[in-house]
Amino acid sequence: DTAVSQTPKYLVTQMGNDKSIKCEQNLGHDTMYWYKQDSKKFLKIMFSYNNKELIINETVPNRFSPKSPDKAHLNLHINSLELGDSAVYFCASSLLGDRGRYEQYFGPGTRLTVT
């Protein structure tokens, strides 16, 4: 009965590789997010999708490309990985819509280590 799930939980890869992180939510939400948490624990929004459409795109390098095949899934693909991409990436979801609520629920995170 996991609400927001991410795979994989840990990802270790070398510089220059391309990798993907998957996220799924079973809460019936229509909006999903990707956050990056750096080594100092700071959480920062990267992207947000509402009903499969991109609505928030912060100043993230275009090596990062989110893809939302449907409302319940938001994947993050990263090309040409760099050392500075090492962080924990969190997926979150919320319900906007006409009677939207503000609460965002987070997944367990994916720890990405680039060597």
Partner 1 sequence: GENVEQHPSTLSVQEGDSAVIKCTYSDSASNYFPWYKQELGKGPQLIIDIRSNVGEKKDQRIAVTLNKTAKHFSLHITETQPEDSAVYFCAASKRNSGYSTLTFGKGTMLLVSP
Residues from 51 through 70 that contact partner 1 (CB under 8 A): 55-56
- Options 12, 16, 42, 79; binder of partner 1; rule CB under 8 A: 42
Shortest reach from residue 58's CB to partner 1, in Å: 9
Please name the residue that has the structure tokens 């840990």.
Answer: 10
- Confirm or reject binding of residue 94 to partner 1 (CB under 8 A): yes
Rounded Cα distance, 83 and 87, in Å: 10
Residue among 25, 31, 68, 75 that touches partner 1 (CB under 8 A): 31
CA dist., res. 109 & res. 11, Å (int): 11
Q: What share of the chain is helix, strand, coil (3-state, %, to 5)?
A: 5, 55, 45
Interaction between residue 96 and partner 1 (CB under 8 A): yes
In the chain the first and final C-alpha atoms are separated, in Å, by 34
Binding site for partner 1 (CB under 8 A): 4, 31, 40-45, 48, 50, 55-56, 90, 94, 96, 100, 102-109
